[in-house]
Amino acid sequence: MSARGIIEYDGKYLLVRQRSNNGTFWCLPGGGIEPGEDIISALKRELVEETGVVPAVGNLLFVHQIKDKDGYSGPGFYFYVENGSDYLKLDIAGTTHGSLELVEIGFVGIQGIHVLPAFLKQALPRLLQNGFRVPTQIILSKNEE
């Protein structure tokens, strides 16, 4: 299971480029939920570890389960983070996990880059149009990563 934050500022989204065994990829900031940890606490911990900024966690926007070559992973919980402007000046070198786990972090437009999970390219603009106030129905294809 994972908890991730959707942090928007001026039509762009805070994304992290993570290190992995398969190279690097862009995704929303956040990460795994530890045994016995509640979802909101996990999101706050992960965002502070990666960015050094305490999030103002808003609505749960959607839950997504990723399918990879080995089957389905645990669900991911995606929350709106209300204090996007607090994330404008980040230095991952000053965080506990940022420089270990991340290659890059920043507000970017998502249309020209590979973002995991792939459905985010379609979902995030709709969520922005809704003002991040209500959950948006996400239709997923069986072939999504």
Work out the average pLDDT over 120-136: 67
Residue 85 has pLDDT above 70, yes or no: yes
Residue 138 inside a domain? The answer is no
C-beta atoms surrounding 23 within 10 Å: 9
Name the phi and psi angles at 51, rounded to 5: -120, -25
Work out the average pLDDT over 109-134: 70
Name the phi and psi angles at 22, rounded to 5: -100, 25
Q: Residues near 125 by Cβ (< 8 Å), separated by ≥ 6? A: none
Residue 45 inside a domain? The answer is yes
At 4-48, the pLDDT tens digits run 999 999 988 999 887 766 666 788 999 999 999 999 999 999 999
What is the extent of the structural domain holding 106? 2-129
CATH number, domain containing residue 85? 3.90.79.10
C-beta atoms surrounding 82 within 10 Å: 16
Share of the chain above pLDDT 70, in %: 78
Position 98 confidence tier, pLDDT thresholds 50, 70, 90: confident
Split into its structural domains, the chain has a count of 1
Asked if the peptide bond before residue 135 counts as cis, ω within 30 degrees of 0, the response is: no
Work out the average pLDDT over 98-123: 76
- Structure token digits, residue 132: 């991040």
